[in-house]
Structure 1
Amino acid sequence: MMNGIGLDQLQLENRFSLLSESFYSPVTPQPLKKPHLVAFSTEAAELIGLDPGRATPEQLSELFGGHRSLEGSNPVATVYSGHQFGGYTPQLGDGRAVLLGDLAGSDGQRWELQLKGSGKTPYSRHGDGRAALRSVIREYLCSEALAALGVPTTRALCIIGSETQIYRESIEFAANMVRMSPSHIRFGHFEYFYYTRRPEQLKQLADFVIQHHYPHCVEMDNPYLAMFSEVVERTARLIAKWQSVGFCHGVMNTDNMSILGLTLDYGPFGFLDDFQPGYICNQTDEQGRYAYQQQPSVAMWNCVCLAQSLMGLVKQGDLEAALNLFEPTYAVAYTEQLKLRLGMAGHINNDGQLIESFLRLLELAKCDYNAVFLALEKAASGDVESVTALLGGTTEVSEWLSLYLDRLDANALTLMARNNPRVILRNYLAQQVIERAEKGDFSDLAQLHAALRAPYSDALDIYSRDTPEWGKNVSLSCSS
């Protein structure tokens, strides 16, 4: 990177700490035992103006292993609440993360640096405030993978491993991860001050968000309504991206919803293998509240919760009108995302029907979701064998395929190649990397990360294979 700065030259502020201590608690990160660098994202580093060549493994390990602090760092843990699986939890907060501060990136965008796994905070409840190596590897890989797919998300700068032991289902090693985001403010931050009946603090929070993240809303008749309307639309477009790439979050509680419409908090997530709309990636989600097909309706429900928190700042009728933006925004965005993957440029009246028929065929065939788009690329080149093998050789498939191929124009293949990844983060790939990393070998982690950062390039054969039966549509626990 040209003109990047060294790690010791990074200067942090902490704009969030300028709010009163009603919003946070000062916290000192607890040092890890024998910290060492596990992974480092050069792409994320460049976003904050950091020259990857001027950040040594030793420097990174000391700084983000809790043994030294960046200049200007003022670590705090923020307080929030939230609806978890539909029920309200009065107080949550950063239980294993601290906000170190923020800085201006290479393009002027400000980025907050948050240290995840940094030890106990006042909001840890019964937890130890630590994060297991396996959990931060999953978040590191997935946040960087989604970013490469064009999905709005927090980013991951690095992972610091250690010899600090923690107990989950068994004894594991703790690790820290540096998470980056323009803001880590959640719907739950607003809910906390609404339900504790502190309207002044809620207004301060809304003013802070508008000032730093939605400054164009200041000129509107009601800046709070303008902000909320944009949050609704951003959230709808985010979920459309999730659905189009086959991403299932797993824990869509309101405290995991970003006020900027970003993917936030990676727990028991999963990407679709076989197309199963009812896919549940979270073992604890026994009712399927956060199943893949439920994500749009849950996101809308979460926006309703945020709207309720803003009722002291915006009239109910105006909030309801803003909420009505969600469904049409989502529908348009989802259709457009699928059309890109299908290579369908422009607009023709029967596009919607063609897509609905495609999704119905997918559900009947229960074939690999990502593979079918790659097979359709081959079909667009004249080879229909792969797609009929996946969707089946029925008359309905043949009729749909004929209509679909007639719809494509000369630019279809280019469009498809730019929007259909050759590699996605399948759970079995992540698990294989984790098992190697837990034995001290991080080479596979670096290799998979590199492949995920270039998803539209031809992938190594090991990443483009079909998911083995044992690895399909697995569910994971929230343990981390």
Structure 2
Amino acid sequence: MFSEQDWEAAPRLGNAYAALPERFFERLSAKPVASPKCVVLNEKLASELGLDVTFLKSSAGTAMLAGNAFPENIEPLASAYAGHQFGEFVQELGDGRALLVGDVLDRDGRRREIQLKGSGPTKFSRAGDGRAALGPVLREYVFSEAFAGLGLPTTRALGVIAHDGPVRRETDLRGAVLARVASSHVRIGTFEYFAARRDVEALELLASHVFEHLQPDLPLSRRSGLALLEAVIARQAELTARWMLVGFVHGAMNTDNVTISGETIDFGPCAFMDEYRSDAVFSSIDSGGRYAYGNQPRITLWNLARFAGALLPLIHPTREDAIKLAEEALARFPYHYERVFYSGFRAKLGLAEREEGDIRLITDLLSLMEQTSSDFTLTLRSLSDQLERPGQSHADGFEDWCARWRERLGREDVDASELRDRMLKSNPKFIPRSHLVEVAIRAAVERDDFLPFTRLVEVVSNPYEDQPGQEIYAAPPLEEERVRQTFCGT
């Protein structure tokens, strides 16, 4: 179909994961799709990865991102993993609709993996079709790029290839493949897969792979099961704290959706809150609120306890000693989480120094916001206006809190303009609000109009800038626009 000349500018990908034993994955090619078309290409990310944008836009590049054809150096594979889904252990999940096509060193020398999501069935598909619909793929694209703009650890979206499918769900939908980029696609569930099979050799090999992939400079003498557990606890605690700081609700915090790298992955039934609610739930399948906004720290720790259980053979040869060491490591989760959350919230309030009463100041503000159904993002963003126009009208109950806050600010040795700049850099103006995401996706899916989607991505990729003329993207939804449920799209 394609000549050697067509592949001349194709990326020369490695695939460190493919060097692991065959029981870690299934080697296979994607099932070709009909009439692939590149509808979104992240040229900035492609440049960061050192990829040839002109090639990616070519028919050969589109075929590669769709999974229809690959140059000879690419050997795709579907990874095996398990997972706790809503608390119940499933011993075999795996990449049921995704292929890891390889890894590349980016411009900064970091190793990044490229995966095709929606590329067709694998042995892990469990009677599924292995496909993805265009709407959920666009949803993942906009959320991952918004996360990148916010500066949060995340997988990235390289491109979207639409095809003629169809993808059969409740109705026939237009299909798509997402080219996704991550530092690593290894999950807690990957370790659980081998722990459930009592395959200690595989656990050791997987741990070595993770160290080599994510911490190559760490001396061999310090690469242990306990060190791996401690590193992942710190990464996941920080990640969850940063979710909480921007009002993000993941919605599907199963252990197969928790990366060892500490990157956010699988933007399915996720959402950013409009009004602040500690019990906010959007996922249509989370009827019990297990993954509600306020539960996310607790669930992260629960997931990490499952990871610790899988790692026990690598932590200490004696099970009792391994459990003791793992429990001591898990006990440090609150320290890691609270350090990031409270320092981040102090920055939102313009506070650089730490005082004993700051936590009370923060929790009182959140309580007021919940009582008054205040918009999470805009309330925090608007606090900077109080520095120049103190005493402006605010929702009921905020006057006393603002007086306490300004008194606290008075003990910071910095002028108002610097305080305002500090706060604006910590409080985004633009988030991918669910009602705007739905409008943009409908235009693309129903009318083949990608302009609203492109504009939305551009705005949320620069969330801290004022962007005059784009105020509509900052406004909360009207009551009739409010999105109360989100869906995973599988």
Q: TM-score, normalised by structure 2?
A: 0.92
Contact kept in structure 1, 2:38 and 2:57, CA below 8 Å: no
Q: Which residue pairs with 1:201 in the alignment?
A: 202
* Aligned with 2:464 (options 456, 459, 463): 456
User: Partners of 1:54 and 1:304 in 2: how far apart?
Assistant: 44
1:259-298 equivalence runs, <5 A: 259-298=260-299
The offset of 1:54, in angstroms, is 5.2
For residues 26-175 of structure 1, the aligned pairs below 5 Å read 26-52=27-53, 55-56=56-57, 58-175=59-176
Q: Secondary structure at the residue paired with 1:202?
A: helix
Distance in 1, matches of 2:214 and 2:152, equals 19
CA contact (8 A) 2:82 2:94 kept: yes
Q: Could you tell me which residue of structure 1 aligns to residue 4 of structure 2?
A: none
**Which runs of structure 2 are paired with 1:390-469 in the superposition (5 Å)?**
392-393=396-397, 396-397=400-401, 399-403=403-407, 405-406=409-410, 409-410=414-415, 411-438=418-445, 439-459=447-467, 460-469=470-479
Whole-angstrom distance in 1 between the partners of 2:31 and 2:177: 10
SS in structure 1 at match of 2:104: strand
Q: What do the CA deviations read for 1:338-370 (whole angstroms, capped 9, x no partner)?
A: 112222122233222211221121121111000
Listed as ranges, the matches of 1:270-349 within 5 Å are 270-314=271-315, 315-349=322-356
Secondary structure of the corresponding residue to residue 313 of structure 2: coil
Cross-structure match for 1:379:
386
Is the Cα–Cα contact under 8 Å of residues 56 and 62 in structure 2 kept in the other structure? Answer: no
Q: Structure 2 vs 1, CA of residues 412 and 80 (structure 1 numbering), >3 Å: closer, same or farther? A: same
The structure-2 alpha-carbon separation of the partners of 1:220 and 1:396, relative to structure 1 and needing over 3 Å to count, comes to farther
Contact 2:10 2:55 in 1 (8 A): no
Asked if residue 357 in structure 1 is aligned to residue 358 in structure 2, the reply is: no
Matches within 5 A, 1:177-216: 177-216=178-217
Identity %: 35
- Distance verdict in 2 for CA 1:263–1:53, change over 3 Å: same
Say which SS state the counterpart of residue 8 (structure 1) adopts: coil
Matched residue, 2:489: 479
- Stretch of structure 1 that moved more, 199-208 or 146-155: 199-208
Q: Which moved more, 1:333-342 or 1:395-404?
A: 395-404
2:480 to 463, 470, 473: 470
Task: Give structure 2 stretches of 5+ with no counterpart.
Answer: 1-6, 316-321
Distance 2:177 2:8 in 1: 17
Aligned length, in residue pairs: 472
Q: Paired residue for 1:22?
A: 23
Cα distance change on mapping 1:346 and 1:402 into 2, 3 Å: closer
CA–CA distance in structure 2, aligned partners of residues 399 and 383 of structure 1:
9
Q: Which moved more, 1:209-218 or 1:169-178?
A: 209-218
How far does residue 395 in structure 1 lie from its aligned partner after superposition?
5.7
- CA distance in structure 1 between the aligned counterparts of 2:452 and 2:177, rounded to whole angstroms: 19
Task: Give the SS at the match of 1:288.
Answer: coil
Report which stretch shifted further, 73-82 or 452-461: 452-461
Q: Secondary structure at the match of 1:313?
A: helix
**C-alpha distance after superposition, 1:46-77 (max 9, x if no partner):** 22112435542544422212232145211000
Q: Kindly provide the CA deviation profile for residues 120-172 of structure 1, in whole angstroms up to 9, marking residues without a partner as x.
A: 00000021000010111011111111011011011110001111111112110
Distance 1:158 1:57 in 2: 13
- TM-score, normalised with respect to structure 1: 0.94
Residue-by-residue CA offset, 1:286-323 (whole Å, 9 max, x unaligned): 11100000000000000000000011111222111111
Whole-angstrom CA distance in 2 between matches of 1:267 and 1:47:
25
8 Å contact 2:137–2:160 — kept in the other structure?
yes
Do the aligned partners of 1:166 and 1:174 also contact (CA within 8 Å) in 2?
A: yes
Give the secondary structure class of the aligned counterpart of 1:179. Answer: strand
CA distance in 2, matches of 1:394, 1:9: 57
In the TM superposition, residue 467 of structure 1 has moved relative to its aligned partner by 1.7
SS in 2 for 1:175: strand
Three-state SS of the structure 1 residue aligned to 2:22 is coil
Asked if 1 retains the 8 angstrom alpha-carbon contact of 2:134 and 2:162, the reply is: yes
Contact 2:13 2:102 in 1 (8 A): yes
Distance 1:431 1:76 in 2: 33
Offset at residue 87 of structure 1 (A): 0.8
Shift of 1:398: 5.1
Specify the code of the residue in structure 1 equivalent to 2:449.
Answer: D
Distance 1:414 1:215 in 2: 37
- Following the alignment from structure 1 to structure 2, what is the Cα–Cα distance between the partners of residues 70 and 365? 58
How many Å apart are 1:396 and its aligned residue? Answer: 4.0
Single out whichever of 177-186 and 336-345 deviates more from structure 2.
336-345
Paired amino acid for 1:122: K
Instruction: Give the partner amino acid of 1:440.
Output: D
Aligned equivalents of 2:407, 2:484: Cα separation in 1? 35
Change in Cα spacing, 1:473 to 1:443, as seen in structure 2 (3 Å) is: closer
- Deviations for 1:426-447, whole angstroms, at most 9, x for unmatched residues? 1111100110101211111111
Closer, same or farther: CA 230–37 of 1 in aligned 2, 3 Å:
same
2:132 partner SS:
coil
Cα distance, 1:76–1:54 mapped onto 2, change above 3 Å: closer
* CA distance in 2: counterparts of 1:321 and 1:249, whole angstroms: 27
